[in-house]
């Protein structure tokens, strides 16, 4: 297991800057997700780490060995970095065993036991070894691709949106198999994804990429509870953003006076709540009231879209047990503290900008 | 939009970022680029030779040689034959394709194979069969008949493919908007057939311009036959060169016209997934007349030449069949065809590779120049190579390498098209994955790239092989003394009116070409480039 350190990496394609200075550290044996919207440069960063492309500036360091930097570029085949592409990328002319054994030294390629071991590692039946890739399901292809990447015992494994082409039922199962196999192999792993649920549930740490820059690197809970700005907040989960006036350690909002997650200077601010912090109840005096606009019912839980008297829309996440109906008035209570962002902070306008784009 | 609330995942799966594809760029492939440039240069050699030597004659020389009644006569002959053939082939090709693809006519699969089968009979063999059975066909009408029957599959095949690709949803939509069946054909289907029809017609016209054997046999003079006669009479007078220059100009004019007419409109289906097969038109009372029409077309284009060959084979076998000579000639032909297939496919690799992996102006230019060079008629290519060999490299004159170069120039597009398709099937991703698994560049070539390209390379080589087996014109001019192929042996026997002796060679050529025909009838979208 090796750590990965990326320092000040930039990359442009023609006149289009894709990465504008990325710093990233993944500890040895860690599992980090690179999360970002489409086109934010996350796949480019992965390709630079793998050695398929060279950065314009900056360095890449794997396990204390400089693999890309000024005047130095170690060829991809000498980096010992495993790569699992989107949709698996299995060699169509080779059977499963041929794919898995591709990166092994010549002597070991015919070793059926080693192939069976690797297939077992990713939770596949060794009987699949003689199948052709096109005879496998999407999830099986992904697992074979992972087994192939793990076969030469790489110090680092890169996964490029490996689950995005799977349907929902397969995705959960394949994710679990991949996490288990990576833990068992002990390799350091970097997963690229645009699915925030995937990033939060799988990784030890999540790095949020935005417009070619890393904006936050944190463990999933910290990222969800204390996002660096409102844009990151909305990207990693549903948010309820309220205008507030901070006085004496409390935020006064349309949903009443809220406790603060962290100290904030008095004055205008915006506060962040998560929909699951809102509790609804029949209307009672002294508690803020909202009207239910619609209910999205998911079975295990539901999203209730609310309209506050001020006209502001927000939603609450409730268990799917006892739900209000559209048109009903309900009172809204807030559980837990709100995260404040003082007005005039440099990140505030960025939110509107991104929305408009 | 209010920033109050926002759903979690911003983008669904399958929306890749805009800047994902990596362009390896031409800088990374200097050797490939150099090789592809050399191939393009070779392909353009005949064209360049004609241009330079015509320019060398000076304006007054050109005027003297071009502005004379003989050239006018040839121009008229060539133009009316090309025009007539294109119109007839379009009518026959679209009609037959419509019957087979869009109606309930019985036996569609059999008809499809039978309508492609005439491609297995070289035009000069077809013409031999007709003239040996009906000596009176050496007229404009006769030439038009024979050439049309040989070339209508060039229109039929792409139009069948286009009919298959038509999205029936468009037709249903048009009907829903209240259009009649005829209006649907005219306003919805015909515009979508346009590209296929134009492409097929261009092929027909280029083939008519390049056709030598069939027309010589029918004694119908066009530019190709005149160039050949001129070459036989004066070896290499400026007369032959200027005639070749006019012929090349005609070819270029056709290529440009097709480019203009085709336009830039795309006719691809906009939706994803496989198109639903459309409803077929019920022929009802018209079934029998339709069957008769198809039977007549197949009878004239296939049964007549085969019957002619059969007749002469039976008559000749008693007197003139020399099995030893037939075997030797077949061996020589197969050897030349195999060598040409290997050489041509190897030459197609760099161009096909660049066209996919380093898309851009340079790659397109190199690919197009190769196609342009190959659109020059075989007689002109042969003439240019003969003269260049004598002047620049006398030790190469009448040797196999020059003949192979001519074959390569003629048939490169067939190989490039298939190699290109194969490279498209093996994205650079596989290369990256193999590299990340520790595989070196030569190792990747051996274990990943070549295995993935092999089927495409094989198909390209097979197409070249089969084209060389029936090549007549360039072989006549360039084959080393004493080397006879099936086509030239057939040619000399039939020129001497020894029809019985000629027939066996033609039969072997038809038998060897049959597999290509089966290939084409199965996959009608490829291989029709010459």
User: Taking the alpha carbons of A228, A230, A236, A239 in that order, is the dihedral positive or negative?
Assistant: positive
Topology annotation, domain A4-225 = Rossmann fold (3.40.50)
| Distance between CA atoms of residues B524 and B517, nearest Å | 10
Where exactly are the structural domains of chain A? 4-225, 231-356
In the predicted structure, residue B12 carries a pLDDT above the cut 60: no
Whole-number Å distance between alpha carbons of B260 and A124: 57
Q: Look at B249 and A38; give whichever has higher pLDDT.
A: B249
Of A91, A197, A241, the CB nearest to B4: A241
Give the distance from residue B12's alpha carbon to the nearest chain A alpha carbon, in angstroms: 8
Query: Does the pTM of the predicted model rise above 0.90?
Result: no
Kindly tell me if the per-residue pLDDT of B524 is higher than 60.
no
CB contact (8 A) between residue B447 and residue A102:
yes
For B375-424, the pLDDT digits (tens) are 888 989 998 998 888 888 888 888 899 999 999 999 998 888 888 888 88
> Residues 6 or more apart from B469 whose CB is under 8 A from it?
B333, B334, B337, B486, B487, B509, B512, B513
Q: Is the separation of the CB atoms in B342 and B461 below 8 Å?
A: yes
Which of the four pLDDT bands, split at 50, 70 and 90, describes residue B25?
very low
User: Most B CBs within 10 Å: which of A234, A272, A311, A313, as the mutation test of the B interface?
Assistant: A234
Q: Write the DSSP symbol of residue B146.
A: H
Which of A50, A238, A242 faces B7 most closely, judged by CB atoms?
A238
Torsion sign, CA atoms A80, A85, A91, A96 = positive
- The pLDDT assigned to B270 comes to 45
Q: Which residues of A81-112 are buried (b: 16+ CB within 10 A; e: fewer)?
A: bbbbbbbbbbbebbbbbbbbbbbbeeeebeee
Starting at the edge strand found earlier in the chain, the sheet holding A313-319 runs A278-281, A329-334, A289-297, A301-307, A313-319
The answer to whether B5 contacts A79, with C-beta atoms less than 8 Å apart, is no
Please enumerate in sequence order all residues whose Cβ is within 8 A of that of B422, keeping only pairs 6 or more positions apart, or say none.
B352, B452, B453, B455, B456, B457, B459, B460
- Domain ranges across chain B: 28-45+320-530, 68-264+287-317
Nearest chain B residue to A154 by CA distance is B437
Residue B523 banded pLDDT, cuts 50, 70, 90: low
Please tell me the distance in Å from B169's CA to the nearest CA on chain A.
27
The verdict on a CB contact (< 8 Å) between A93 and B452 is yes
Kindly list the residues from chain B whose CB atom is less than 8 angstroms away from the CB atom of residue A89. Answer: 429-430, 433
Query: Is pLDDT of B435 > 80?
Result: yes
Cβ–Cβ gap A194/B11 under 8 Å: yes
Flag if A41 and B448 touch (Cβ within 8 Å).
no
Res. B299: pLDDT tops 70: yes
Instruction: Supply φ then ψ for residue A25, to 5 degrees.
Output: -130, 130
Q: What's the CATH number of domain B68-264+287-317, 3.40.50.300, 3.30.450.40, 1.10.3720.10, 3.20.20.105?
A: 1.10.3720.10
Q: Which of B154, B171, B216, B469 is nearest to B335 (CA)?
A: B469
Banded model confidence at residue B271, pLDDT cuts 50, 70, 90: very low
Mean pLDDT of chain B: 83
Question: Which of B432, B437, B438 is facing A52, going by the closest CB pair?
Answer: B432
Give Cα separations from A145 to A89, A117, A122 (angstroms): 7, 14, 10
Mean pLDDT value of segment B132-146: 89
- Is there a contact between B17 and A39 if contact means CB atoms under 8 Å apart? yes
Residues of B in contact with A161 (CB under 8 A): 13
* Neighbour-count burial for B181-208, b at 16+ CB within 10 Å, e otherwise: eeebbeebbeebbbbbbbbbbbbbbbbb
Q: Is the Cβ pair B3, A352 closer than 8 Å?
A: yes
Residues from chain B contacting residue A47 (CB–CB below 8 Å) = 22, 432
Look at A314 and B5 and tell me if their CB atoms are within 8 Å. yes
Q: Provide CB contacts within 8 A for B14, sequence distance 6+.
A: A164, A165
**Does A82 sit within 8 Å of B10, measured CB to CB?**
no
Enumerate the residues of chain B whose CB falls inside 8 A of the CB of residue A16.
19
Please state the CATH superfamily assignment of the domain spanning residues A231-356 in this structure.
Answer: Nucleic acid-binding proteins (2.40.50.140)
Number of CB pairs, chain A paired with chain B, less than 8 A apart: 129
Phi/psi-derived region of residue A148, left when phi > 0, alpha when psi is between -120 and 50, beta in every other case? alpha
DSSP state of B236: S
Q: Which of B1, B3, B20 sits opposite A43 (nearest CB)?
A: B20
For residue B9, the model assigns a pLDDT of 35
Shortest distance, CA B366 to any CA of chain A (angstroms): 23
Low-confidence ranges of chain A (pLDDT < 70): 345-357
* Fold of the domain spanning B28-45+320-530: MetI-like fold (1.10.3720)
Residues B188-230: tens digit of each pLDDT? 888 888 888 888 898 899 899 999 999 999 999 999 999 888 8
pLDDT for B16 equals 36
Of A53, A80, A238, the CB nearest to B5: A238
Q: The sheet that has A31-35: what strands, in order across it?
A: A81-84, A156-160, A188-193, A31-35, A205-210, A213-218
Cβ–Cβ under 8 Å, residues A92 and A101: no
Instruction: Tell which residue, A312, A307, A306, has the closest CA to residue A242.
Output: A312
Chain B residue closest in CA terms to A99: B434
Mean pLDDT of the B29-49 span: 89
Distances (CA, A) of B110 to B46, B117, B162, B392, B413: 42, 11, 19, 52, 29
B8 closest CB neighbour out of A89, A92, A196: A196
Contacts of A235 in chain B (CB under 8 A): 10
Question: Is the pLDDT reported for residue B146 higher than 70?
Answer: yes
In this complex, do B11 and A37 lie within 8 Å of one another by their Cβ atoms? yes
**B20 contact residues in A (CB cutoff 8 A):** 43-44
Q: Do A109 and A165 meet the contact criterion of CB atoms below 8 Å apart?
A: no
Q: How confident is the model at residue B330 (pLDDT cuts 50, 70, 90)?
A: very high
Q: Which residues of A touch B4 (CB under 8 A)?
A: 240-242, 312-314
Per mean pLDDT, which range of A171-175, B263-267, B303-307 is the poorest?
Answer: B263-267
Facing B4 at nearest CB: one of A16, A79, A240:
A240
Predicted local confidence at residue A307, as pLDDT: 92
Report the alpha-carbon angle B367-B370-B371, nearest 5. 90
Find the closest chain A residue to B6 by CA distance: A238
Q: What angle do CA A162, A167, A173 make, to 5 degrees?
A: 70
Tell me: pLDDT of B476 over 60.
yes
Q: How far apart are CA B64 and CA B57, in angstroms?
A: 10
Contact: A239, B15; criterion CB under 8 Å:
no
Distance of CA A272 to the CA centre of its chain: 20
Read off the pLDDT band of B140 (50, 70, 90). very high
- Which pLDDT does position B527 carry in this prediction? 40
Contact A148 B437 (CB under 8 A): yes
The per-residue pLDDT for B6 is 36
* Residues contacting residue A27 through CB under 8 Å, at least 6 positions apart: A3, A188
- Please compute the mean of the pLDDT values over residues B268-279 and round it to a whole number: 50
Which chain A residues touch B435 with a CB distance below 8 Å?
51-52, 75-77
B15, B16, B433: residue with CB nearest A83? B433
**Among the partner residues A38, A91, A165, nearest to B17 by beta-carbon distance:** A38
């Amino acid at each position: 297991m090796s750590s990965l350190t990326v320092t000040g990496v930039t990359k442009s394609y023609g006149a289009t800057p894709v990465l504008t200075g990325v710093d990233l550290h993944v500890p040895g044996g860690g599992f980090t997700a690179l999360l970002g919207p489409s086109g934010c440069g996350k796949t480019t960063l992965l390709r630079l780490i793998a050695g398929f492309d060279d950065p314009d500036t900056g360095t890449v360091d794997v396990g204390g060995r400089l693999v890309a930097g000024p005047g130095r570029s170690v060829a991809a085949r000498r980096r010992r970095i495993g790569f699992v592409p989107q949709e698996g990328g299995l060699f169509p002319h080779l059977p499963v065993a041929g794919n898995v054994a591709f990166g092994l030294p010549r002597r070991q390629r015919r070793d059926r036991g080693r192939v069976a071991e690797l297939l077992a590692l990713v939770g596949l039946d060794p009987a699949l070894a003689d199948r052709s890739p096109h005879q496998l399901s999407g999830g099986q292809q992904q697992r074979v691709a992972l087994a192939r990447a793990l076969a030469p015992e790489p110090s680092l494994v890169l996964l490029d949106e490996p689950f995005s082409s799977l349907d929902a039922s397969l995705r959960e199962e394949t994710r679990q198999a991949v996490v288990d196999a990576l833990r068992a192999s002990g390799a350091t792993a970097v997963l690229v994804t645009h699915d925030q649920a995937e990033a939060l549930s799988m990784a030890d740490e999540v790095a949020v990429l935005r417009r070619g820059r890393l904006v936050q690197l944190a463990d999933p809970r910290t990222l969800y509870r204390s996002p660096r700005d409102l844009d990151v907040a909305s990207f990693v989960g549903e948010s309820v953003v309220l205008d507030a006036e901070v006085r004496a350690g409390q935020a006064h909002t349309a949903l009443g006076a809220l406790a603060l997650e962290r100290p904030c200077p008095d004055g205008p601010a915006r506060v962040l709540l998560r929909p699951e912090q809102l509790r609804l109840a029949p209307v009672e005096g002294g508690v803020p009231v909202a009207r239910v606009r619609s209910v999205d019912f998911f079975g295990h839980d539901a999203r209730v879209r609310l309209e506050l008297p001020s006209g502001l829309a927000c939603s609450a996440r409730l268990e799917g047990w006892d739900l209000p109906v559209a048109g009903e008035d309900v009172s809204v209570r807030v559980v837990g503290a709100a995260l404040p962002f003082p007005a005039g902070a440099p990140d505030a306008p960025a939110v509107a900008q991104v929305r408009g784009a | 939009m209010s920033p109050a609330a926002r759903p979690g995942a911003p983008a669904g799966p399958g929306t890749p970022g805009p800047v994902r594809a990596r362009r390896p760029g031409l800088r990374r492939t200097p050797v490939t680029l150099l090789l592809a440039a050399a191939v393009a240069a070779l392909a353009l050699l005949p064209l360049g030779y004609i241009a330079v030597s015509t320019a060398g004659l000076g304006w007054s020389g050109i005027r003297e040689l071009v502005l004379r009644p003989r050239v006018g006569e040839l121009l008229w002959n060539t133009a009316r034959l090309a025009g007539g053939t294109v119109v007839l082939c379009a009518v026959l090709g679209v009609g037959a394709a419509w019957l087979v693809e869009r109606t309930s006519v019985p036996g569609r699969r059999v008809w499809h194979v039978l309508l492609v089968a005439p491609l297995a009979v070289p035009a000069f063999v077809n013409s031999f069969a007709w003239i040996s059975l009906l000596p009176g066909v050496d007229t404009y009408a006769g030439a038009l008949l024979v050439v049309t029957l040989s070339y209508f599959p060039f229109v039929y095949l792409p139009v069948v493919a286009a009919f298959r690709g038509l999205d029936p949803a468009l037709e249903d939509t048009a009907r829903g908007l209240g259009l009649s069946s005829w209006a649907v054909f005219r306003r919805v289907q015909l515009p979508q057939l346009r590209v296929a029809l134009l492409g097929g017609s261009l092929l027909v016209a280029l083939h008519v311009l390049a056709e030598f054997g069939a027309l010589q046999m029918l004694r119908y003079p066009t530019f190709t036959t005149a160039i050949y006669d001129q070459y036989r009479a004066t070896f290499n007078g400026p007369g032959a060169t200027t005639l070749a220059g006019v012929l090349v100009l005609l070819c270029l004019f056709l290529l440009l016209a097709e480019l203009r007419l085709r336009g830039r409109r795309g006719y691809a289906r906009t939706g994803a997934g496989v198109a639903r097969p459309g409803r077929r038109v019920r022929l009802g009372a018209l079934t029998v007349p339709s069957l008769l029409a198809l039977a007549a077309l197949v009878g004239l284009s296939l049964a007549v030449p085969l019957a002619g060959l059969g007749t002469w084979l039976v008559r000749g076998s008693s007197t003139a069949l020399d099995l030893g000579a037939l075997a030797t000639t077949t061996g020589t032909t197969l050897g030349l065809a195999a060598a040409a297939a290997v050489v041509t496919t190897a030459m197609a690799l760099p161009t096909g590779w660049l066209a996919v992996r380093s898309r851009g102006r340079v790659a397109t230019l190199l690919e197009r120049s190769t196609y342009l060079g190959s659109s020059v008629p075989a007689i002109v290519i042969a003439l240019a190579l003969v003269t260049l060999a004598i002047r620049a490299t006398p030790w190469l004159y009448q040797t196999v390498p020059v003949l192979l170069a001519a074959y390569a120039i003629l048939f490169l597009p067939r190989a490039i098209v298939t190699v290109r398709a194969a490279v498209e099937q093996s994205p650079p991703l596989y290369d990256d994955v193999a590299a990340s698994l520790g595989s070196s560049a030569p190792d990747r070539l051996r274990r990943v790239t070549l295995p993935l390209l092999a089927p495409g390379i094989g198909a390209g080589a097979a197409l070249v092989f089969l084209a060389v087996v029936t090549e007549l014109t360039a072989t006549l001019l360039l084959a080393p003394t004493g080397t006879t192929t099936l086509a030239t042996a057939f040619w000399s026997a039939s020129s001497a009116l020894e029809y019985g002796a000629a027939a066996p060679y033609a039969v072997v050529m038809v038998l060897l070409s049959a597999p290509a025909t089966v290939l084409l009838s199965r996959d009608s979208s490829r291989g029709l480039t010459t």
